[in-house]
Structure 1
Amino acid sequence: MKSFHFFLQAAFLSTLIIRPAYAASDNKPSINFETMQQTIVQLAQQIAVDMGRPLGNNTPDQSKPTGKASEVEKTLPTIEPQVKSPPTTPVAAQSTSYHQRSNSYATNPDSDPPRYVRQLSDIGIPAFKDITWLDVGLEHRTRYEWRNNDIRRVEGGEDNPFFLRNRAWIGIKNILDPFRFAVEFQDSRVYNNKHAITDQERNEFDLLNAYGELNFKKALGADDRGNDRPIRFRVGRMAYETTDRRFIARNEWRNTTNTFEGFRLNLGREANDWELDLFGMQPVRRLQTKFDEANSNLWFFGGIGTWRKWSDIATIQTYYMGQKQQGDPNGFTATNRLDREIHMPGFRVYGKAGNIVDFDVSYNHQLGFSGPNRVDANGYTIEVGRTFEHSWKPRVGLFYGYASGDKDPTDNVDNRFDRFFGFARPWSADHYVIYENLKAPKIRFEFTPTQKLGFELGYGAYWLASKTDRMFDILDGNISNTVRDPGFNRDRTGQSGDFGGHAFEGRIRYQPTPRINTILGYTHFTAGEFVRNRIAASPSCANGHSHPCVDHRSGDTDFLYFEVLISLL
């Protein structure tokens, strides 16, 4: 795979104009985005001329989901991006898709390619109106955060970081079919952060996607509604999301992005009545100032079957996912140094019970081994909600999520549920808990007074499923490859209790134009007995202890943020 890295890197860099200047702290070059945009356009024209074919191919892209593009642009974006459809999709075909989105909170995967990507024909330049075979995209995001006494850190006080993220995409489809390819670049940086910078905040000048694909549009015929059922085989580096995003996700909230290297085979597509997704991949290590590389010690593999024949009532997903890790003696964390093998069968069902309620239910069981211990863990989620008939589209949702924790540190059985590579933020906006060792009831209320303005209010509480296991991301107890875990986030005796705390969350989303989204959010977390007791039991910095030590405080926190997301094409 390493030779493939260098080939893809060279191919991608040849399409960009890269400034030779380097930041003092990195080895990755920066990008002139204005020049890059001009270069992409010139490249598109040159490819068509060299092939001796007209600049245009009006064949619709059958691999993209269907829907009304005009509604997507006008509608306020949800917690996760809405599926974007090509404007060239025939009107007659717009109602044939079997796909139904879930109404549950933040569980709809991003589109493939991502939502900010457009056909060159759609960017508004008349000269390019017939170039439907070239996908391009440019996106910028800036987020400011104010955190007060953040319990993810052993150090209290205030932090005021700025996060910057830039993305660019170029992809070829249709004109070279069945061969297609795409490259996605991302540059992630953080400024004014008083803590040690980790790979969750910084990953400068790297690739999220760089793959080749064979796409046979009608290889499996068509479904009962006439939707072509393709076979797609993709090889290379890829970042994508699937199922409810709890195990495979790009992780859009975070400043850096999950990506993998390997293969993906799809039988069918999102519009079909059934689809099968098979994959075998190695997760990519995010090296903050060097070119990322695959983790050769770990394989992630599985298959996902989706049945949409009855999608007006329920969509059914059954899947198997697994991890196999060869212990790395030089691994940064204790888990990295273990031989591990985890197998997880699971299912998910979501849909609507008439016009009364919507629902989304999943269950997963994990078996295998982790070092000398046998793995036996499980997790499930249940969400029901109702959207009321009113012009503001008010919705009330009730959620409960459970993930087992290690019951006994001495019994040679590991009961801690593993989220694999899933998202974190919807479990808690301030990122204090994830899908492990958790019991989390939540209630959420949403309404949209206008197409451009939306409000969200939520309340959640967090208990540990096992009080002898850890609360993941508190007191530097994370799995970062930068900050060592001092072990303050676990009490093996169980004497610290099991109540982590509860939080009030609020968000205001405003979309001034179809290509600019803004979000203002606030969360107040009130610490429970477990957090307060772990802070009190840790060495106090006030007593002259050497690092690591903990600034003793109440455990209550405040988190305020403002974000601007701009699609530049």
Structure 2
Amino acid sequence: MQEGLSISGAMRLRYETIDGQARVGFNKSDDLLNLRTNVLARYRKADIEVAVELYDSRVWSDRIGTPVSTNEVNAFEPVQAYIAGTFQEPLGAGSKIAVTAGRMMLNLGSRRLVAADDYRNTTNGYTGMKADLTARNGWKGTFIYTLPQARRPDALDDVRSAKVKLDRESFDLVLWGGQISRAKTIGLASLEVTYFHLGERDAPGRPTRDRSLDTFGGRMMFEPRSSHFDYEIEAFFQTGSVSTSTSASAQRQSVAANFIHVDGGYTFPGAWTPRLSVEYDRASGDKPGGKFGRFDTLFGMRRADLAPAGLYNALARTNIETVGIRLEAKPSKRLDWFAAYRPMWLAARQDSFSSTGVRDASGRSGDFAGHQLEGRVRYWLIPKRLQFEFDGLVLAKDRFLRDAPNATAGKWTRYVSFNLIATI
């Protein structure tokens, strides 16, 4: 990386609209104008780096019943403010350790547990320490001890008016653990082992379910390349305990939850490099009696695997089982697109479906939620400077999302967003 001071940034303007909202408690039809601006200042000298990054996320045209929260609004926030240093060959020839301390954004491994969300109008920040280790023979490791930032303000009126209030980090919410990986472990496939602990407790004005979760997992993958098959397998098992509610007197319940993702694809030769893949995702839900079974994706992203956030935000990595078929291509350096279709079931029919809030505690509404068809097109209007993005989605609700006692009205959910992203 070039030494000295560098400044970069981006501004994304998004208009999104939805009809037939699938989530409980919000307007059936809605639209929203989002603006997210970030500026990163970085100074590097030899093996030392200092950086500060400001995020400013705001919305307009929201109404009563519009799903607006700190997922959409976080005004003038220093999400990153860190110092990093790199130490060469601390463990012998070819080794390297980079240590980062302060506020930072994290994207670890597959990003299914720890990520800086990109589609959402706000992002995730973490305060603490991170160590990245590179060793010989393809070994790498990342280890963290962080206090995830709780976005503020808390009051809905303050959120809607984009009141500036510094996000809060404290030992009431702690995330630590790490990942170890090695390239070409089984043939050309890489292997990754993961462990994270999340500890949570009540804070003044912020009752919680006091999560104490240990998430263990592993991933094996063969990267896509032209004229070859590729695959990825990742699985997590989650243990620990949670409170049955946010009440201070709530009982504790043991946790036993799991998640698996499997995909296999083939990249065809040619200038477009089209890739056709089949995907399978299953995240457990909570069944009556016994241990708490609803998988918690911690701070993971959802857009790359499941669906957009924003006004839609109906799918998360919890109580869902789905098979997907995806076709993606890059016709030129300026244009790329993908289309995906997936039928969706509940992993536990008595639990609420994914992040919709729709539930039938009796289980009598079945376990088939519906069919989702989505697509995305991105085009650089000005290469490396101005990009247009279109996202479109149709959800055909099936029995569960139509018949459950609190299901939202209508058979269809339609969502689109138009984005302009300017970078400097």
Q: Kindly provide the CA deviation profile for residues 388-431 of structure 1, in whole angstroms up to 9, marking residues without a partner as x.
A: 012221110110011111121xx241011110100122312342
| Residue among 235, 260, 266 paired with 1:363 | 235
1:53 corresponds in structure 2 to none
- Map of 1:396-415 to 2, 5 A cutoff? 396-408=276-288, 411-415=289-293
| Residue among 12, 25, 28 paired with 1:154 | 25
| Residue among 282, 291, 299 paired with 2:147 | 282
Describe the SS at the equivalent of 1:497: coil
User: What's the C-alpha RMSD, in Å, of the aligned pairs?
Assistant: 2.1
Residues matched between the structures, number? 398
Describe the SS at the equivalent of 1:471: coil
Instruction: Please report how far the alpha carbon of residue 455 of structure 1 lies from its aligned counterpart in structure 2 after TM superposition.
Output: 2.5
| Residue among 191, 195, 206 paired with 1:320 | 195
1:451 corresponds in structure 2 to 333
AA at the equivalent of 2:233: V
Q: Kindly provide the CA deviation profile for residues 2-37 of structure 1, in whole angstroms up to 9, marking residues without a partner as x.
A: xxxxxxxxxxxxxxxxxxxxxxxxxxxxxxxxxxxx
1:558 corresponds in structure 2 to 414
CA–CA separation in structure 1 for the residues paired with 2:152 and 2:376? 32
Indicate whether 1:241 and 2:107 are aligned: yes
Describe the SS at the equivalent of 1:530: helix
Describe the SS at the equivalent of 1:532: helix
2:353 corresponds in structure 1 to 471
Instruction: Please report how far the alpha carbon of residue 361 of structure 1 lies from its aligned counterpart in structure 2 after TM superposition.
Output: 0.6
* Contact 2:9–2:38 (Cα < 8 Å) also in 1: yes
**Identical positions, percent:** 28
* Contact 1:276–1:305 (Cα < 8 Å) also in 2: yes
| Residue among 164, 177, 182 paired with 1:307 | 182
CA–CA separation in structure 2 for the residues paired with 1:159 and 1:434? 21
2:376 corresponds in structure 1 to 507
Q: 1:155 to 1:186 in 2, by over 3 A?
A: closer
Indicate whether 1:517 and 2:387 are aligned: yes
Indicate whether 1:273 and 2:138 are aligned: yes
* Contact 1:151–1:555 (Cα < 8 Å) also in 2: no
Instruction: Please report how far the alpha carbon of residue 267 of structure 1 lies from its aligned counterpart in structure 2 after TM superposition.
Output: 1.7
Q: Kindly provide the CA deviation profile for residues 429-486 of structure 1, in whole angstroms up to 9, marking residues without a partner as x.
A: 3421111111011001112222212231110121110001112322xx4xxxxxxxxx
AA at the equivalent of 2:339: L
Indicate whether 1:190 and 2:46 are aligned: no
Greater CA drift, 250-259 or 465-474: 465-474
AA at the equivalent of 2:412: D
Describe the SS at the equivalent of 1:359: strand
Greater CA drift, 508-517 or 360-369: 508-517
Instruction: Please report how far the alpha carbon of residue 257 of structure 1 lies from its aligned counterpart in structure 2 after TM superposition.
Output: 0.4
| Residue among 499, 518, 529 paired with 2:399 | 529
Greater CA drift, 286-295 or 306-315: 306-315
* Contact 1:454–1:510 (Cα < 8 Å) also in 2: yes
CA–CA separation in structure 2 for the residues paired with 1:182 and 1:463? 44
CA–CA separation in structure 1 for the residues paired with 2:230 and 2:387? 27
Q: Kindly provide the CA deviation profile for residues 28-66 of structure 1, in whole angstroms up to 9, marking residues without a partner as x.
A: xxxxxxxxxxxxxxxxxxxxxxxxxxxxxxxxx3xxxxx
Instruction: Please report how far the alpha carbon of residue 531 of structure 1 lies from its aligned counterpart in structure 2 after TM superposition.
Output: 1.2
Q: 1:196 to 1:157 in 2, by over 3 A?
A: closer
Q: 1:272 to 1:217 in 2, by over 3 A?
A: farther
CA–CA separation in structure 2 for the residues paired with 1:157 and 1:459? 23
1:437 corresponds in structure 2 to 319
Q: Kindly provide the CA deviation profile for residues 248-279 of structure 1, in whole angstroms up to 9, marking residues without a partner as x.
A: 1101000000111111122228x971111111
2:212 corresponds in structure 1 to 341
AA at the equivalent of 2:169: A
- Unaligned 5+ residue runs, structure 1? 1-60, 62-118, 120-131, 224-228, 478-488, 539-549
CA–CA separation in structure 1 for the residues paired with 2:346 and 2:281? 11
* Contact 2:26–2:67 (Cα < 8 Å) also in 1: no
Q: 1:452 to 1:180 in 2, by over 3 A?
A: closer
TM-score norm. by structure 2 comes to: 0.88
Indicate whether 1:393 and 2:273 are aligned: yes
CA–CA separation in structure 2 for the residues paired with 1:556 and 1:364? 33
| Residue among 119, 127, 140 paired with 1:261 | 127
Q: Between Structure 1 and Structure 2, whose CA radius of gyration is higher?
A: 1
* Contact 1:249–1:423 (Cα < 8 Å) also in 2: yes
AA at the equivalent of 2:403: N
TM-score norm. by structure 1 comes to: 0.67
CA–CA separation in structure 1 for the residues paired with 2:45 and 2:90? 15
Describe the SS at the equivalent of 1:185: strand
Describe the SS at the equivalent of 2:403: helix
Instruction: Please report how far the alpha carbon of residue 340 of structure 1 lies from its aligned counterpart in structure 2 after TM superposition.
Output: 2.6
* Contact 1:343–1:368 (Cα < 8 Å) also in 2: yes
* Contact 2:57–2:72 (Cα < 8 Å) also in 1: yes
1:483 corresponds in structure 2 to none
- Map of 1:66-105 to 2, 5 A cutoff? none
- Unaligned 5+ residue runs, structure 2? 154-162, 244-251
Describe the SS at the equivalent of 1:393: coil
2:255 corresponds in structure 1 to 375
Greater CA drift, 297-306 or 491-500: 491-500
Indicate whether 1:497 and 2:361 are aligned: no
Q: Kindly provide the CA deviation profile for residues 79-135 of structure 1, in whole angstroms up to 9, marking residues without a partner as x.
A: xxxxxxxxxxxxxxxxxxxxxxxxxxxxxxxxxxxxxxxx5xxxxxxxxxxxx3323
AA at the equivalent of 2:241: F
Q: Kindly provide the CA deviation profile for residues 186-238 of structure 1, in whole angstroms up to 9, marking residues without a partner as x.
A: 00001112215200110000011111223213333443xxxxx3212221111
Q: Kindly provide the CA deviation profile for residues 342-378 of structure 1, in whole angstroms up to 9, marking residues without a partner as x.
A: 1111100111599431011111111111132111111
| Residue among 419, 426, 440 paired with 2:297 | 419
Greater CA drift, 454-463 or 145-154: 145-154
AA at the equivalent of 2:359: R
